[in-house]
Each structure stands twice: as C-alpha cells, then as structure tokens.
Amino acid sequence: MKTIVFIKEVPETPDGVKISDSGQLAVDGDRAFLTDPIDPYSVETALKIREEKGGEVIVVSAGSTRAEKFLKEALAMGADEAVLLSGAEIEGGDPTATARALAAAVRKSGDFDLLVVGDRAADDNSAVVGPVLGQLLDIPVLTYVSEVREVDADTIRVVRTLEKGREVVESSLPAVVSVVKGIHEPRYPSLLGIRKASKREVPKWTAADLGEDPARLGAAGSPTRMRSLAPPPAPSGVEMIEGEVEEAAKTLVAKIIDRKVL
Amino acid sequence: MGRFKGIDYYQVEELFSEEEILVRDSVRAFVTDRIMPDIERHFDECTLPLELVPELGRLGLFGANLPEEYGCAGVSNVAYGLIMQELERGDSGIRSFVSVQGGLAMTGIFLFGSDEQKKRWLPAMAEGRKIGCFGLTEPDHGSDPGSMVTRAEKTSAGWLLNGAKMWITNGSLADVSIVWAKVDGRIRGFLVEKGTKGFTPVQQKGKYSLRASDTSELILEDCEIPAKNLLPLSDGLVSPLKCLTAARYGIAWGAIGAAMDCFDRSLAYAKERVQFNRPIGSFQLVQEKLVYMATEITKGQLLAHRLGRLKDEGKMTFTQVSMAKRNNVQIALECARLARDLLGANGITSEYHVIRHMLNLETVKTYEGTHDIHTLILGTDLTGLSSFH
C-alpha cells in the first residue's frame, strides 16, 4: 500500500498575520508559519494504514523551503519519504495550480494506492486541492472522511461526516481521501524519530523536475487571484451578566426570549 | 491565550540546531495538549499524572541524553535542556519526575552500574515501564549529605541496609531506588527493588508545593539485598554528586520554562485587563515588571545555552552548573512572584497557573542544592577559600 500525504505550511493566526491597509497579507517572518493543523491528522491516517497493511508513506508539500521543517516533522512521526516541490515557478499558486504541481509529483513517483489531504487548509479554507487532484488524476475523491473502516488492495471503505449525518462510502483504489480533524489522535514525533529525520535530506523537485509547463503552475498559472483581504468584523454586543448564579440565569433567559433567539 | 510560542527576545533560537528545535516543538506540543489541560486538577488532588508516563516514554524523554545502545534517544545536552524547559513550562512536578528518572536514577545506573545492571534497567526505564528514584537526602542530613547515617553491612548473601531517606521524588512509585549508604564510612550506591523485605516507602503529606509529584520517605530496616545490587563503580560522595550535577543541569533549563509561562500569561493579561479605561500593560509599573521578567528570562536562556554547549563539548564544570541552577531558579521564582502580583486577585487562582509555578519554584529553589549552598560552592570556587569548613 503506497500512500502519499500532502501537507502545507500556513501562516499562524492571529498573531503572525497582519493585513495591510491595502488589503495584502503581511506575515511576520518565518517563525509565523507552521504546518497546517490538519496535517498531523493526514499523516497519522497514512501511518495507521501502513501499520495495518504495510507499504510506505510519502509526504509531499508544495511551496517555500520553510516547509522542509514540516516535512521533517512528518518524517519524525514515521513517514518513509518526503519531497518538497519548490522554486519560484511553483510558489504562490492558488489551490488549482498547487494541485497541478502535486498531481505532477504523483505521476513522477509512479504507482500509488491512496492520496491523503486535509479537508481544508487553515489559511484559505478552500477545500479545493483534494477534489482537483482527483480530477487531474482521474480517480475517485472521498471528502470529509472521519474514519477509515477498511482498506484492501483494491478498495477503501470510509465514513464521511457531513452536515446532515454520516455516510459510509466504498470506493475503488487508487483514490483521494480528504480527512477531518479527529479521524485519529496524531502521534507526537518521538526523539528518536526526530534524530533520524533531522539527518535526512529532503529532495526538492522544481517545475522542470516535474515536467510540468511553468505557465500552469505557481502564481502565473493560477486561475484565481486574491484581490484583497479584510479582517473579520470585531465582535460586538458582548454583555457580561453580573450577579448571583440564579439571578444571572434568569436575566440570561429573559434576554434570550426577548431577542427571539429560540 | 494563543498557542505558546516561547519568549525569544535575543533570537536565541538561532543558536539551536534544527534537531534541537524539532525536539523542543514536539515536547512543547505534548505539554500543551496533554499536560496543561489537567495539571491544575492533579496539583489540587496531589497526584502525579501517571497516565502520561508511557507517553513520556514513547516520546523518548526519559534519560534522553543517554546513549541509544540503552534504548535512550541520545540527543544533545541542549536538546535535553529544552525538554526540561518545556516540561517545566507545564509543571515543576512533571519536570521533576522526568529529571529524577533520567538525570538521577538512570544517570546513576549509567555512570556507576555494571553492564548487567545497565542492560536490565536502562531500556525499561527509558520506556517508562520501570520507574526509578534516588535516595540521598536523610531526615537530618540535607545540605550535608556526607554525614549521612544510612549504613550498609556485608552479609553472606549480599548487603544489609539500615537507615532512612527523606524528600525522595518518585519514592513510593519507584520500581528501583538508588539508595546511598555508607560501607565502613565510605558512601556507595545500591539498587533496592520495590517490595524488598525491610524496605518501606511512605508518601509525605502536607506539601503546598510540587503537589503533582510523589515525595516520599524511604525506610530501610534490616533490608537485605543481593550482592549484585551494589553499583560497582560508585565510590564516595563524589558519585551521588555527579548525578546531582546532571540533574541540576536540567533544573537550570527547567526553571526558565516556568518563568516563560509566567511571563507569557502576564503579558497576555497586561494587554487584556482594563483598569482606568486602559489596558494595565500601558502603566509604567506594569511594564517595569514585564521588562524585568523578559530581561531575566533572556539572560537565563543564554546562561543555559552556553552551559549546554559546554556540556556537549565535555568542558562543563559543576560550579558552572551551580551558577546556572542558582541564578535561573531564583529569577524564575521572582518572575512567578511578579506575575502573581501583576495578575492581581486572579493571580492567586488556579485558572491563571502562576501561583502554582510560584509555589513549585519554592521547592526547586531548595532541592538539588539550596540557593545558599550553590552560593557557597561558587564562593569557594571563586576565592579558593572553603566556605563550608
């Protein structure tokens, strides 16, 4: 079972990110980046499948060289290999252009059984990369997966957690699975894992290595573009109800009824 | 409170290797996720979170700077220090558990044990399957351990131990206790296994400090152990003192972690707490406290980092460890007291954690060589004139 996991760096919010007056993102140095909080769940999903079925886990990220640290964290958790897709032609892509780079990396790495991504990235929240990957590679996509019930050589059965309930879905392999937080409790990188990982060189593949037209990658190849950013409106109308518990509860109930919340 | 990011006013992070940063970040995440949510309950109920012991073992935190051949992680001493820093950001009691297991018990077996003893105990202790403690201090002999009264006599089958040890972290939990006793006036180390006849650990009650930690008295009454349980390379007071140097090294780093947590909470509080229509952080008296804390933490970080590099290069002296332990614990305690003050009435509640650090650090100031004893060690070293005798 060969599983490829995709991770990405995201700016840390809210401390690391500022929005300039002109509506652009200003990130406060390298330390303000971290691996997407969903990533450890994706990696853990792949590691659990490997523990049960054997095989290998490859972790891939597209973006700046900062992501090397996060790939090493995945290696320290137990992934077998890591690859960074990097270079000016790849960086700055929107989800579609990024998915093109990832799909090219998948093709370059040969046969595979399963691709795992987070359900959505913490920065743009787009939830697009997984589905576009499926389309580019012409394989099924299973989104919002909260449990992997069964995997064998040709099929996977998963539980999808949707707004209106849970759905058990079976699919042929290879497939793309996008996982939600809580699918597993991610393991912490052990010290021995870290020692091994920090000695590893993470291979870097450029657009040329991927054999992909640079015009379809990175900022240049992105069909969408962010025009401007604005912070969410500040919360307003917060009212602290003082007093004894019973009295405060009565006041709260009165306010809920008064404002027709229920 | 957002994700804990540490305090790094002097770009100290640039002094660490990639591996050291990965180690710190892994332990930092573990402390945030697994220790912080429940630590106040454990402190309140006077219990050690034993459920975390296998997890700490899986991470490789026990004896992390000891060699891989004994199942340990073999990280640098700086990485080991960062582990202690992060653990004590959680709680001094948790750090003490790991310190005693690794810095004292495992180090004692590693330095003075036979091959058989090392192979039997170290891998199991590294995994957290076996717990160790270190019995040196006695009810009437604390700062002056050389005058201990615990005795070991040779018998036909082994050794007969008599005496009592006090203030022993992990004492009631330990599967193996390193007990220091005099043989014909010379201090030697012995391994006493849990359940040995004549060996009784008694948990000490009534602590207002280090409550999420087991502190026990060890009573040895005609406690007979096999001959093979002598630590063969232990010889004289210098042997336990070598272990103490290893553990004090960890404390010098750990205290910074507690101070960092106090500063982090104080800074957040100073920005959020509004009095006289302004965040209290805008008042000069509050800023002075924050500046003092940040400055002392930064100095402590640099002291600990340099000490770690010296240890990695095999050049560290025990007097340098005394300086770092003495300074860093003192400033951590001062930071905790300032944080308690800065947080006003909230500072005395468990919700804000700083008073727990403050109470814990009173112990840390006293154990593993009191602040004053380290002053005397340094005074003696600087002048060449003994301050003890």
- In SS3 terms, B12-73 reads as HHHHCCHHHHHHHHHHHHHHHHHHHHHHHHHHHHCCCCHHHHHHHHHHCCCCCCCCHHHCCC
Are B116 and B163 part of one and the same domain? no
Residue range B18-32: average pLDDT?
Answer: 96
Are B219 and B246 part of one and the same domain? no
| pLDDT tens, position by position, B60-85 | 999 999 999 999 999 999 999 999 99
Q: Tell me what percent of the residues of chain A surpass a pLDDT of 90.
A: 68
pLDDT reported for residue B63: 97
| pLDDT tens, position by position, B96-135 | 999 999 999 999 999 999 999 999 999 999 999 999 999 9
Please check the confidence at residue A32 and state whether its pLDDT lies above 60.
Answer: yes
pLDDT reported for residue A225: 87
User: What distances in angstroms separate CA B325 from CA A17, A111, B130, B320, B364, one per listed residue?
Assistant: 37, 56, 28, 9, 9
Residue range A178-188: average pLDDT?
Answer: 93
Residue where a domain terminates, one of B207, B229, B251: B229
Are B218 and B242 part of one and the same domain? no
| pLDDT tens, position by position, B36-51 | 999 999 999 999 999 9
Residue A108 lies in a domain: yes
Average the pLDDT over each of A124-138, B11-25, B173-187, B217-231 and give the range with the smallest value: A124-138
Contact across the interface for A194 and B13, Cβ inside 8 Å: no
pLDDT reported for residue B36: 96
Host domain of residue B108: 12-126
Host domain of residue A52: 2-216
Q: Give the pLDDT band (50/70/90) at residue A76.
A: very high
Residue range B180-201: average pLDDT?
Answer: 98
What values do phi and psi take at A78, rounded to 5? Answer: 135, 0
- Which residues sit opposite B179 in a β-bridge? B135, B190
Does an H or E element contain A26, and which?
strand A25-27
| pLDDT tens, position by position, B53-65 | 999 999 999 999 9
Are B27 and B119 part of one and the same domain? yes
Q: Tell me what percent of the residues of chain A surpass a pLDDT of 70.
A: 97
Q: Map residue A159 onto helix, strand or coil.
A: strand
B368 belongs to the catalytic site: yes
pLDDT reported for residue A16: 61
Chain A residues closer than 8 Å to B73 by CB: 190-192, 195
Q: Residue B138 gets which letter from DSSP? A: B
d(CA B333, CA B365): 8
Q: Which of B138, B296, B334, B368 is catalytic?
A: B368
Are B182 and B214 part of one and the same domain? yes
Residue range A54-70: average pLDDT?
Answer: 94
Residue B37 lies in a domain: yes
Residue A9 lies in a domain: yes
Residue B6 lies in a domain: no
Chain A residues closer than 8 Å to B5 by CB: 15, 31
Chain A residues closer than 8 Å to B18 by CB: 69, 72, 198
- CATH number where B50 lies: 1.10.540.10
Chain A residues closer than 8 Å to B57 by CB: none
Are B173 and B310 part of one and the same domain? no
Contact across the interface for A76 and B74, Cβ inside 8 Å: no
- Which residues sit opposite A156 in a β-bridge? A151, A171
pLDDT reported for residue B2: 62
Q: Give the pLDDT band (50/70/90) at residue A18.
A: confident
What is the pTM assigned to this prediction?
0.90
- CATH number where B347 lies: 1.20.140.10
Residue where a domain terminates, one of B77, B111, B126: B126
Q: How many domains does chain A have?
A: 1
- CATH number where A209 lies: 3.40.50.620
Mutation target to probe the B interface, by most B beta carbons within 10 A, among A28, A33, A188 is: A188
Contact across the interface for B26 and A12, Cβ inside 8 Å: no
Residue range A117-138: average pLDDT?
Answer: 90
* C-alpha distance from A62 to closest chain B C-alpha (Å): 20
pLDDT reported for residue A126: 83
Residue A180 lies in a domain: yes
d(CA A251, CA A242): 9
Q: Are B293 and B263 contacting, i.e. CB atoms less than 8 angstroms apart? A: yes
- CATH number where B219 lies: 2.40.110.10
Q: Tell me what percent of the residues of chain B surpass a pLDDT of 90.
A: 98
Are B104 and B25 part of one and the same domain? yes
Q: How many domains does chain B have?
A: 3
| pLDDT tens, position by position, A202-252 | 999 999 999 999 999 998 999 998 888 887 777 777 788 888 899 999 999
Q: Give the pLDDT band (50/70/90) at residue B177.
A: very high
Are B158 and B48 part of one and the same domain? no
Please check the confidence at residue A15 and state whether its pLDDT lies above 70.
Answer: no
Mutation target to probe the B interface, by most B beta carbons within 10 A, among A194, A198, A199, A201 is: A194
Q: Give the pLDDT band (50/70/90) at residue B216.
A: very high
Contact across the interface for A190 and B5, Cβ inside 8 Å: no
